[in-house]
Amino acid sequence: MVNAVVDKLDSLVKEVNSKISQISELKAVEDLQHEILGKKGELTQILRGLSELPEAERPLVGKKANEIKVEIQKLLDKKILQLKRSSLSERLEKEWLDLTLPGEPVPSGRLHPLTRVLREVKTVFSGLGFEFVQGPEVETDYYNFEALNIPPDHPAREMWDSLYLGERTLLRTHTSPVQIRVMEKRKPPLRVISGGKCYRRDAVDSTHCFQFHQVEGFMVDKGVSMAHLKGTLSAFAQGIFGSERKVKLVPSYFPFTEPSVEVYIDCFNCALTPSESCRICGGSKWLEILGAGMIHPFVLRVVNIPSEFTGFAFGLGIERIAMLKFGIDDIRLFYESDQKFLEQF
């Protein structure tokens, strides 16, 4: 009986070998594996029949059966590997690549124009000894208005269409509150700029948006004058718009500076092609770029700066600078994520 079982096992190996040689698809190999080694497979049935053998002969036949099982599995695995390699070779012949052809260009990322201008502004002022700091976008009424000489009943509040979040909190309308926060914690001399998003209840059009970016800067020290202010802003304008730029100051009004000025540069477009109807300045020959002035004595008293110190402050819109620098006539283009627009930068 033992010999009959052993012969059956040897015969099974030959049968598997014969069937494998005729197989050309992976699915057929899987079917054969199930037919031989599955729960109801031929080898499994032989192994279950070992219990009918005499107890002394079971180890010998069991060992032989396990050797046959390993051998059959190796034959199946070898066939599977052979078919996979053959399939890969056929695929490579059909889907060949010419590695000598140039690859498709990978588009490179670019800085957003507002980020680019903000970095340029920070670089110019950093070279002038200014430190960059940041403040919260959600501000209290005190820091946004009252400490800047704009009490609750002051008509100047109409200059800022504010977005209030509560009775005493709002989305900051400018970056000037950072000036107060810094002067509360530090003593002069100070040279600081701050930048970030600001918010106002403006209708969106080609020159206005409810969200915009601003940079505020100030300097406090002994003997600081309007001459220092003009020299600093001239260096800034020439650093951003070109060394040939001229700067002029025009009297203006801001509650937190006295005297206050609007800062203009000569039109760089007119310098190239003089025209009475310039598309940038409209024939005025000058372009407004920011507001500035000497820090109001009230503001310095609020933060306990001694009277022997004076200072100047300025604020500029990053969108305004970017529009002038790149010749953009609609602020909405900065926020529409138009790839064709952004790729120009």
Q: Please name which of 324, 325, 323 lies closest in space to residue 333, comparing C-alpha atoms.
A: 323
- 3-state SS track over 39-71: CCCHHHHHHHHHHHCCCCCHHHHHHHHHHHHHH
Sign of CA dihedral 302, 306, 312, 314: negative
Q: Buried (b) or exposed (e) across 330-343, using 16+ Cβ within 10 A?
A: ebebbeeeeeeebe
User: What order of strands is seen across the sheet that includes strand 138-140?
Assistant: 138-140, 169-171, 163-164
**What pLDDT does 216 receive?**
95
Domain regions of the chain by residue span: 2-94, 113-342
**What pLDDT does 345 receive?**
83
For residues 217 and 125, is the Cβ–Cβ distance under 8 A?
A: yes
**What pLDDT does 47 receive?**
67
CATH 3.30.930.10 for domain 113-342, yes or no, is yes
**What pLDDT does 275 receive?**
62
**What pLDDT does 339 receive?**
86
Sign of CA dihedral 298, 234, 270, 333: negative
User: pTM above the 0.75 mark?
Assistant: no
Q: Please name which of 258, 244, 245 lies closest in space to residue 295, comparing C-alpha atoms.
A: 258
Cα 277 to chain centroid, rounded: 40
Q: Return the DSSP state at 279.
A: T
pLDDT tens for the 345 residues of the chain, in order? 556 666 666 677 777 777 777 777 877 777 777 777 776 667 666 666 666 666 666 667 667 777 777 777 787 788 788 878 888 787 877 877 778 888 888 877 888 999 999 999 999 999 999 999 999 999 999 999 999 999 888 787 777 788 999 889 999 999 999 999 999 999 999 999 999 999 998 888 888 888 999 999 999 999 999 999 999 999 999 999 988 889 999 999 999 999 999 999 988 777 666 666 777 777 778 889 999 999 999 999 999 999 999 999 999 999 999 998 888 888 999 999 888 888 888
